[in-house]
Amino acid sequence: MVARPLLDMTLVTLAAPSYFEAHGVPQTPNDLEHHQCINYRLMDSRALYAWAFRINDTVRRITPHAHFIANEADAVIAAGLAGLGLFQAPIHFVQQQLQDGSLVPVLVDYRATIHTLYLCYPGRKNLPLRVRSFIDFTLEESHRGRFMLDHDPCLLQQEKTDHSLDSKAGAMPKTPLIS
């Protein structure tokens, strides 16, 4: 069996601007206990998803108290867009919403890469031409970054904005986080 890496699954914590206006902005993962969170229920175990954060070069898992629970990513994202709370998702699931500002990332310094997506195939010998062509195409596109974001929307926040907060602790930044 051959396994070739294609894409890192980096998680981002985010919410709609309306949520932050009503509830403030968490500064650390520990602040989540004072926030409304949206979470996934895992289909196989029925457990709630444990959010991942990188703290001191290790990945720490936190299962926040959830005010809204769904078992499907689109439902979690829709609840987040409606301002129901904070949620965590792979960054490539929410690229468009991050770019258009309908969702805003927080806790960016704590982002964690939890999985790598691999292209797996039985071996290099005796592959049908169409399978070999698909593998070559997929790997080439991956190396070109076609499966990655054109840019990291969370880093765009640092490049384009004034990071000062209003005098109220946890208030929204004076300028939008994403433009």
Identify the pLDDT of residue 172.
Answer: 45
Check pLDDT > 60 for residue 155: no
Interval 51-76: pLDDT, tens? 999 998 899 999 999 999 999 999 99
Arithmetic mean of pLDDT over the chain: 82
Given the structure tokens 């959830």, which residue do they identify?
Answer: 66
Query: What Å distances lie between residue 4 and 18, 59, 73, 93, CA to CA?
Result: 41, 23, 26, 22
Q: Is 92 exposed, middle or buried (0-12, 13-18, 19+ CB in 10 A)?
A: middle
Check pLDDT > 90 for residue 160: no
pLDDT tier for residue 12 given thresholds of 50, 70 and 90: very high
Identify the pLDDT of residue 154.
Answer: 56
Identify the pLDDT of residue 150.
Answer: 47
Helix (H) or strand (E) holding 2: strand 2-15
Domains of the chain: 7-118 (3.40.190.290)
Sign of CA dihedral 177, 61, 22, 25: negative
Among the listed residues 15, 10, 160, 161, the one whose alpha carbon sits nearest the alpha carbon of residue 102: 15
Among the listed residues 176, 31, 29, the one whose alpha carbon sits nearest the alpha carbon of residue 98: 176
Segments of 79-179 assigned E as strands: 87-90, 104-106, 112-121
Identify the pLDDT of residue 171.
Answer: 46
pLDDT tier for residue 31 given thresholds of 50, 70 and 90: very high
Helix (H) or strand (E) holding 134: helix 129-143
Which one has a higher pLDDT value, 176 or 136? 136
